[in-house]
A and B are shown apart, each in its own frame.
Chain A
Amino acid sequence: MLMKPPLLSLGLISATALAYEILLMRLFSIIQWHHFAYMIITLALLGYGISGTLVSLLQTTLLKPKHRWFHITYPLFLFLFSLSSFGCFFLAQSIPFNPEAIIWDTQQIWNLLGIFLLLSTPFVLAASAICLVFIHYPEQIAKIYSMDLMGAGFGSIAIILMLFFVFPITALLIISLSGLTATLIALQETQQLSIKKTINKNATRTFSFIIVLTGLFYISSFQYWQLNISPYKDLSTTLNIGGTQIIEQKSSPLGLLEIVESPKFPFRHAPGLSLHNSQEPLEQLGLFSDAANMTAITRYPDELEKLSYLDQLTSALPYHLNTINRLLIVGAGGGSDILQARFHKTQNIDAVELNSQIIELLSNQFAAYSGHIYLQDNINIHSGDIRGFLSKKESSNDGNYDLIQISLMDSFNASASGLYALNESYLYTIEALQTYLQHLNPDGYLAISRWVKTPPRDAIKMFMTAITALEQYQIQPAAHHLVLIRGWQTATLLVKKNPFKVSEIEALKQFCQARAFDVVWYPGIKAGETNQYNHFREAYFYQAARALLNDMDSRQQFLQNYKYDVNPASDDKPFFHHFFKWSVFKELISLREQGGLVLVEMGYIVLFVTLLLAIVSSIILILLPLIVFHFRSRAKAEYSLSALDRLQLFIYFFSIGLAFLFIEIAMMQKFILYLYHPIYAIPVILAAFMIFAGLGSAWTKQLLLRFSAQQLLLGAIMGIVFIGVFYSYFLGSFFAMTASYPIIIKIILSLLLIAPLAVCMGMPFPLALGALSVSSSSGSSNTAYIPWAWGINGCASVISAVLASLLAIHFGFNLVIIFGLGLYLLCLITFTMPGAHALS
């Protein structure tokens, strides 16, 4: 019976399932909103946990003896995965789900549950197939786990690359077909397992024929596959207006870009405009990202004078305080900041845009429309992350920009309802602000514009971040180096290395008066000057600025008493968009009838609810098989572990699941800051972790010939702890040393750094799973517990990903690493614990 495990199909299904996970996240970000996509997909991954339970149940009931059924069940699960990968998605997207109504409409909860169950199905099937291989080839667990991890690693790279070339819906077709291919391979690989060869041959042929037919069905029906975008997304409502149509689409892993023209009713997108402005914005095209977040591409005018409305924005302030010759624009997007600079006759412009597809659109199809703004001689456009861009520039003591302009980059609604709370952003951290300051000339300005919300949040947090950055930069008193103004929609903060001069303050007052903007802070401001044009109940902004600048006591008191978290974001806690405070939650809930819920930051709540749901589901999923085994008398012989042994097993596999992702996620954050471009950083690091861990797993087989499992585990975990601690202390300085190296060298260095850590991290899981399958001194093996351990690990991974974000929001990523290392140590203790014999 000892045969080669079906490694090829296993690797392919692992790759396909991981690619499917990333793709689902993309698809649901388009049809719904990012944070709900996050919640739904995270919960769907509990499918891995469910698979453990499912296989446990199957092997105690249907699949006895298990060897007789493997060659049927394994390909069948793969086939069903393929069917469900497309079927369940289309069913799930046809369920009308409106996240905002969930508060008052209980039907939405059922809809959400339905979506979750549908989407978890493909993961249950894929994970069950993998689990079946584990229990069928218990001697080769290390090899199988290695293939599983490496497959997943390649899958993550494949899907990111794929999304550059095809639309998400086409990627779905490719994934469904890939599932079918895995099934065909699996059929070939398992054919020799059957006892009755002749019957099996015919069955295989028929099954293969069905698979090919299914593939043809996918391809022929593809033209009818369509995304069902929520009617409440900006793109959907825009397309309801007569004459609008999508004229161009671009896909990338960053998002789906859609360009819409509306010849009958112009877009006129210009948020933050003064009420005194009398000029209508110029003709525009709407640029939607993931069917929301609209920005505009403006038709380049024949005369620059026609852009005068761009001088009526709060972000135009720096142009009135000094002459701007050298400008750096962060987030060039559709180009309105460039137009604003052009209007003010700024000649030398560096512009950085993360999304290369926007640059491509404005340099090709829409180059003429946008007046070739990205192609003009004195404009240098760079694709990538701003901090990556600055790290490559020579950092002398004084940089040479007169202005670094960071405008609005998110939409008001998403921002106001706190949907970005989970998104790490390295744009607005203390360290980022210091980098910007470094590249300014002494009289240059850093200008950051944010939405004005009621009650105020962003602008105050930005102000606090600037104060901290200045103080750490030894520029004091910070009060002399800051200016904050606001309109009814936007606020603009200016930071300067030299103190603001009297002439600048005079110009500032004139600028604000002419546009009915309020001054919030300038050196020497008096309370009576604030809150004049756009009234808040109280001068909240000024009160905040005053309290934050006054002295340490009043600052601390303010930060504590303010009902939103306005502590500055740092590279270790890069959650600028997180404002939620638990202390205020109760008050807001008590105001739910009077509209209080709009003030609850949904992003954080979603994260928290996801964690709760994941924990509750995990408890059920982990306990269920136990209850079933131990009440079924006929299974008792196989499930012989004592309660203490089971606890030991549980702690071990749960800790590994948590620890692996804790370390992986926290390290990923560190490497994002090194490689800077998330598009390269995330897949490279994710894949590196999985592939190297896969190699580590494969290596255990050889190592076990020379060392005992205990010795090997001790070595692996000590390795993880040592490298983890070492990296926590020295990675920062190493990154700083090599910051200006070319990206390819940095990627190679990253891979070399991840390799030893990941290889060690790949060992604990197969070692323990292997130990379960080895016959103990009493002669019985605990193979029957493998699915249970697999399920625990699956549940722990889901909890881990959510918990890591939550811990990072409150304590920072460094602490997440320490937690991870602690959990690995716990595994070590559990594994070598005397008395218990499940693993030893």
Chain B
Amino acid sequence: MKQTAHKKRICSKRLCILILVPLTFVFLALFTVNEPIIPAIQLASPVEDHYMQKRQQMVRMIERDVHETSQYLDKEALDPKVLQAIHTVPRHKFVIPETLTEAYRNIPLPIGYGQTISQPYIVAIMTDLLKLSASDTVLEIGTGSGYQAAVLSELVKQVYSIEIVVPLGEQAKQRFKELGYTNITSKIADGYYGWEEYAPFDAIMVTAAASHVPHALIEQLKPGGRMMIPVGSHFMTQQLLLIQKDTDGQIQTRQILPVRFVPLTGEH
């Protein structure tokens, strides 16, 4: 009798261990490996909090990096409004599910169709260099994921965005609708001719690959306006081309290296 009771106790102990241990592992795994899953099942706000926190970290990192590069960008720090915009836009809503956990790392990410969502640091610098104000209208060539347009939309009155790849354009349109970006208008078309209907623009951002700067875009830039063209591969921005149209309509360009680096040391 005593023995069977003892056996039973051992059995139930074993059963408890067998059930509890895997459960603990599952929970641990869910908490550590894939953070978003647990909050998503429970409440919405902790998720947002979690992302907000990560976004905050990313913004701080960008701030620090820009500060170090400041001398080469001819400024001490980024416009706080630009940083605020990056802080507001939920980058995780613009990436593909496979890269969700990477959404707030300061790196470019693939979005399918051979296209990418730019490195936040570069997005911040490019946006800042456009010197935008709240009443501006901006044209973007190359919507991609729509992240850049969303950042712009936080800073200006109206953003017009053109994408050439049909599925990307449709996804972005849907995304803008879902996230409530009412001041972004997008279409699927050839960006070479700009968007005559809404021209002229205070600023133009060309994130699509182009072998030269289309004349129509220069035409559709307001006097005093700025155009930004990042040059490089899909993942690596080699340099930024900033085109400025002065009040007389004269064009000047600046070649900007978004890195703290001078090619020459010594006496020259």
Interchain CA distance A242-B163 in the complex, whole Å: 11
Chain A CB within 8 A of B211 CB:
yes
- The answer on a CB contact under 8 Å between B257 and A455 is yes
Given contacts A98-B110, A268-B192, A535-B255, contact A595 B263 (CB under 8 A): no
Chain A CB within 8 A of B238 CB:
yes
> CB < 8 Å: which of B107, B214, B218, B255 contacts A454?
B255
Interchain CA distance A533-B234 in the complex, whole Å: 27
> CB < 8 Å: which of A275, A417, A452, A587 contacts B243?
A275
Chain B CB within 8 A of A738 CB:
no
- The answer on a CB contact under 8 Å between B259 and A591 is yes
Given contacts A534-B253, A547-B268, contact A268 B261 (CB under 8 A): no
Kindly list chain B residues whose C-beta atoms are within 8 Å of the C-beta of A678.
Answer: none
Kindly list chain A residues whose C-beta atoms are within 8 Å of the C-beta of B213.
Answer: 273, 275
- Enumerate chain A interface residues (CB-CB to B < 8 A): 98, 100-101, 104-105, 231-233, 236-237, 240-242, 264-266, 268-273, 275-280, 412-413, 416-417, 452-456, 488-489, 516, 533-538, 540, 543-544, 547, 557-558, 561-564, 587-588, 591, 593-599
- The answer on a CB contact under 8 Å between A594 and B68 is yes
Range for the number of chain B residues in contact with chain A: 35 or more
Chain A CB within 8 A of B72 CB:
yes
Minimum CB–CB distance for A578 against chain B, Å: 16
Interchain CA distance A598-B212 in the complex, whole Å: 22
Given contacts A98-B110, A596-B261, contact A454 B192 (CB under 8 A): no
- The answer on a CB contact under 8 Å between A598 and B231 is no
Chain A CB within 8 A of B105 CB:
yes
- The answer on a CB contact under 8 Å between B264 and A562 is yes
- The answer on a CB contact under 8 Å between B236 and A598 is yes
- The answer on a CB contact under 8 Å between B235 and A231 is no
| 9 A-B residue pairings within 8 Å (CB atoms) | A100-B236, A240-B114, A277-B215, A488-B255, A489-B212, A558-B264, A563-B261, A588-B261, A593-B65
Kindly list chain A residues whose C-beta atoms are within 8 Å of the C-beta of B68.
Answer: 594
Chain A CB within 8 A of B122 CB:
yes
> For chains A and B in complex, what number of residue pairs have CB atoms within 8 angstroms?
163
Chain A CB within 8 A of B266 CB:
yes
Closest 4 CB pairs of A and B: A455-B263, A273-B212, A454-B239, A237-B114
Chain A CB within 8 A of B183 CB:
no
Given contacts A232-B114, A561-B268, contact A540 B121 (CB under 8 A): no
Kindly list chain B residues whose C-beta atoms are within 8 Å of the C-beta of A547.
Answer: 268
Q: Determine the residue in chain A with the shortest Cβ distance to B244.
A: A535
Chain A CB within 8 A of B165 CB:
yes
Interchain CA distance A271-B212 in the complex, whole Å: 6
Interchain CA distance A599-B258 in the complex, whole Å: 11
- The answer on a CB contact under 8 Å between B253 and A595 is no
Question: CB-CB contacts of B139-176 with A at 8 A, as 1s and 0s?
Answer: 00000000000000000000000001110000000000
Q: Determine the residue in chain A with the shortest Cβ distance to B119.
A: A595
Interchain CA distance A562-B266 in the complex, whole Å: 9
Minimum CB–CB distance for B1 against chain A, Å: 58
Interchain CA distance A303-B262 in the complex, whole Å: 47
Minimum CB–CB distance for B264 against chain A, Å: 6
Minimum CB–CB distance for B190 against chain A, Å: 5
Kindly list chain B residues whose C-beta atoms are within 8 Å of the C-beta of A276.
Answer: 251
Minimum CB–CB distance for A268 against chain B, Å: 7
> CB < 8 Å: which of A104, A562, A563, A594 contacts B121?
A594
Interchain CA distance A454-B267 in the complex, whole Å: 20
Given contacts A265-B190, A275-B243, contact A100 B266 (CB under 8 A): no
Interchain CA distance A469-B151 in the complex, whole Å: 52
Chain A CB within 8 A of B4 CB:
no
- The answer on a CB contact under 8 Å between B253 and A535 is yes
- The answer on a CB contact under 8 Å between A557 and B121 is no
